[in-house]
Amino acid sequence: MKKTKALLVTSFALFSLFFGAGNLLLPPFLGYNAGANWFLVSIGFMLTAVFVPILGIYAHSKLQGTLYDFGKKVSPRFSILYCVIIYVIAVTIPSPRTAAATHEIAIAPNFQLTSLYTSIVYFALVLVFVLNRSKILQFVGKYLTPIIVVILLTVIAVSLFTSEFSTTASNFQNPFLGGILEGYQTFDAIGSVVVGAVIIISVNDKFKFTFEEKKQLIKSSGFIAGLCLFIIYVGLIATGAFFSSEINIDATLSNDMQRANLLRNISITALGNLGNSILSVLIALACFTTAVGIVAGTSDYFKGLFKNSQQAYVITAIFSCVFGVVVGQLNFNAIVVIAIPFLLFVYPITIVLILLNSIPERFASAMVFRYVVLVTFVFSIPDIVGFVWPSETLKSIVKFIPLSAHSFGWVLPAFVVFILVNIVSKNKATV
């Protein structure tokens, strides 16, 4: 009974820590643009928004350490630098993005309040939860997540039931790859290595299990959370696709307003005037739990970096929340645009580290880690440079790299190096 309760609470907490602003706003708009190709887009989206993140949780169940353990096989210095970059990105982009989304969708349409006021109240509440971190798993998993899941499933079910099941033509040249790239914007792969560490500490604080029991608990919780994400993502994408012929979105609006208006129109169409209130509550809860997970995870890391100092934990939490208030003054779309070059840099490395930490150790030696991560980084540079400073010269160079046109030029080189290093290592061992 105790293990069953632990499994349910941990699974719900994981889902809730994953499911934030982007997870709610991106899928319906993705389906809206995908139209008739919504299923192909869904498959691509699931790879980067569900499969890789849940692998990250699986890797955490094996390591049962911190984010530092993900990259230590490359080198201790690399791992420290990687951790700092990940946590800085987490508190400067996805965390403030949750406040921006809450204000634009849940607060601004209903109350005459400025984004500054919303952000201050929002992050003050986040800080209260983070400073009471021992209660995070219990409160989020036991109370907030069931509310979020019930509201989500209700909106999806009623929306699909009331839709005409007709779609428009797709706006994607390559729906599958488009879905993969859109999955980047959920931050879920990065989220998995951040909130996974939060779950490890919370499980250690809450339950007195053995290493193997915790491994099974976290692994099973990851699977359940991933299944919930899968069902809800497919539902949201399908909802956006089936309403694409019924709802017209003003193309002159910014992307964030288009996403928000689409979701609001779907909710109102399906649930009437009550839909707007339900959507506001849903956005606020979903965003809030994610922000709590990010700030708690960042504070946990710097606490460990400074010899388990509680003062370091509190200072980091305060700094993260203050920074969230400042960056939260930007609109949702501006934060998404700012995030793209950082995602193109850190996402491939994060995906590679998750995959290497998930496979059997005999295929993932320290040498394999070093060379695969190095090649991934090198072949990600053109994507970053091409986004920041696009040029025809760069395009003429990278066109010879497979998949580079779709920002996946690092995939094949990383895979080839993975195979070659394993072959060389095996031959050396047999000599």
User: Based on the number of CB atoms within 10 Å of its own CB, is 202 exposed (0-12), middle (13-18) or buried (19 or more)?
Assistant: buried
104 DSSP 8-state letter: I
Q: How far apart are CA 105 and CA 177, in angstroms?
A: 29
Write out pLDDT tens, residues 100-156. 888 877 888 778 888 889 999 999 999 998 888 666 656 666 777 777 788 888 888
Q: How far apart are CA 32 and CA 44, in angstroms?
A: 15
CA dihedral 378, 384, 385, 387 (to 10 degrees): 150
Q: Is the pLDDT of residue 431 over 60?
A: no
Residue range 83-98: average pLDDT? 83
Q: How far apart are CA 83 and CA 342, in angstroms?
A: 14
Q: What domains does the chain contain, in order, with CATH numbers?
A: 2-343 (1.20.1740.10), 359-431 (no CATH)
The answer to whether the CB of 340 falls within 8 A of the CB of 387 is yes
Q: Residue 396: what pLDDT?
A: 67
Q: Is the dihedral angle over the CA atoms 26, 32, 38, 44 positive or is it negative?
A: negative
Q: Is the pLDDT of residue 1 over 60?
A: no
Q: How far apart are CA 340 and CA 331, in angstroms?
A: 15
Write down the mean pLDDT value for the chain. Answer: 82
Closest by Cα among 96, 64, 386, 53 to 226: 53
More confident residue, 430 or 312: 312
Q: Residue 6: what pLDDT?
A: 81
The answer to whether the CB of 317 falls within 8 A of the CB of 91 is no
The answer to whether the CB of 154 falls within 8 A of the CB of 275 is no
> How far from chain centre, in Å, is Cα 404?
23
Neighbours of 212 (CB within 10 A): 8
Q: How far apart are CA 125 and CA 269, in angstroms?
A: 32
User: Based on the number of CB atoms within 10 Å of its own CB, is 362 exposed (0-12), middle (13-18) or buried (19 or more)?
Assistant: exposed
Write out pLDDT tens, residues 192-216. 888 788 788 778 777 778 888 888 9
Burial annotation 388-422 (CB, 10 A radius, 16+ → b, else e)? eeeeeeeeeebeebeebebbbbbbebbeebbeebb
Q: Is the pLDDT of residue 317 over 90?
A: yes
Write out pLDDT tens, residues 357-403. 999 888 989 999 999 999 998 888 877 776 666 666 666 666 777 77
Match 């995906």 to its residue by tokens: 351
Neighbours of 1 (CB within 10 A): 5
Q: How far apart are CA 136 and CA 130, in angstroms?
A: 7
Q: Residue 201: what pLDDT?
A: 79
Q: How confident is the model at residue 336 (pLDDT cuts 50, 70, 90)?
A: low
Q: How confident is the model at residue 315 (pLDDT cuts 50, 70, 90)?
A: very high
Match 């007709």 to its residue by tokens: 166
The answer to whether the CB of 9 falls within 8 A of the CB of 199 is no
Q: How far apart are CA 292 and CA 140, in angstroms?
A: 9
User: Based on the number of CB atoms within 10 Å of its own CB, is 207 exposed (0-12), middle (13-18) or buried (19 or more)?
Assistant: middle
CA dihedral 431, 417, 375, 372 (to 10 degrees): -70
pTM over 0.85: no
Match 């991934």 to its residue by tokens: 376
Residue range 168-185: average pLDDT? 82
> How far from chain centre, in Å, is Cα 62?
20
Q: How far apart are CA 279 and CA 175, in angstroms?
A: 28
